[in-house]
Amino acid sequence: MKPSIFSYVLFLLFALTTQSIFIFTTTNSASAAEVVVKDSTGKKVLNNVRYHVSPVAKGGSIKLTDTINKKKVCPFEVVHDPKDNVGGEFMFTMITDKEVKENYLKTERILGIDSGYPKGACTESTFWTINDAEAKGPPANLITTGGGFETEETCFQVVENPKPTSAKVHSYMLQHCPGFCGGPDKTCFNISLSSYQGVNRLSAVGATPFEFAFHKIAK
């Protein structure tokens, strides 16, 4: 017996309804993964605004330097200074559709990190950069500067820390995700603190992920 027109219409309605539910569920799950980032005082971190960042467990701060072991470097290096509690000023900017304005920084979103305008003779870009996250050793997998915005080398994301050191501090982890900005592989690499040539630096190598907090810059 041939199916009636009524049966065919019911089938189409069922198919369209099922597809709509699937799309909504997928989109809703992706949005649920995003969480607004908060600073050390619990306030929302603004997108595209400068902040200090510091390790939670080790103390000190993260800063930019033009000198390593008494030698000038260009582009600059991103290092950990255990004696400096202020550190550099870094701007986290999410990579989004230019027509969409995002007021606050969110986790699980690709972004670029800028260190501000260079000073002195070095005129390289100050975007955080990793030349080769899969390199077996430094310096290729160290975070330096010199890249362009929205490239594989400068593609990062902030993620929530599954095992925070303190429940009183909003702490996060940083990942390098070259595949999300045009690279062939969609793998993300945890950023860690590691020592190279006697200096603690941020890199895509190391056993312990870099746990850090945002600190508002005092005016």
21 pLDDT tier (thresholds 50, 70, 90): very low
Cα separation, 201 vs 206, in Å, equals: 11
Identity at 134, one-letter amino acid code? E
Identity at 98, one-letter amino acid code? K
State yes or no: pLDDT of 25 exceeds 50: no
Cα separation, 187 vs 176, in Å, equals: 9
Are the C-beta atoms of residues 142 and 199 closer than 8 Å to each other? no
What integer pLDDT is reported at residue 118 of this predicted model? 61
Report residue 68 CA to chain centroid gap. 25
State yes or no: pLDDT of 2 exceeds 90: no
Q: Under DSSP, is residue 66 helix (H, G, I), strand (E, B) or coil?
A: strand
What integer pLDDT is reported at residue 182 of this predicted model? 84
Are the C-beta atoms of residues 212 and 205 closer than 8 Å to each other? no
DSSP state of 98: T
Q: H helices within the chain, ranges in order?
A: 5-32
Q: Is 27 exposed, middle or buried (0-12, 13-18, 19+ CB in 10 A)?
A: exposed
Average pLDDT rounded to a whole number, residues 102-114: 95
Q: Which of 213, 140, 216, 215 is nearest to 176 (CA)?
A: 140
- Rounded to two decimals, the pTM is 0.80
23 pLDDT tier (thresholds 50, 70, 90): very low
State yes or no: pLDDT of 112 exceeds 50: yes
CB atoms within 10 A of CB 2: 6
What integer pLDDT is reported at residue 100 of this predicted model? 76
Cα separation, 109 vs 180, in Å, equals: 10
* Residue 183 in tokens: 């690279």
What integer pLDDT is reported at residue 104 of this predicted model? 97
Average pLDDT rounded to a whole number, residues 49-72: 91
Q: Under DSSP, is residue 215 helix (H, G, I), strand (E, B) or coil?
A: strand
For 173-214, write each residue's pLDDT tens digit: 999 999 999 877 778 999 999 899 899 999 998 778 999 999
* Residue 11 in tokens: 């089938």
Residue in the block written with tokens 């508002």: 216
- The mean of the pLDDT values for the chain is 82
Q: Under DSSP, is residue 38 helix (H, G, I), strand (E, B) or coil?
A: strand
9 pLDDT tier (thresholds 50, 70, 90): very low
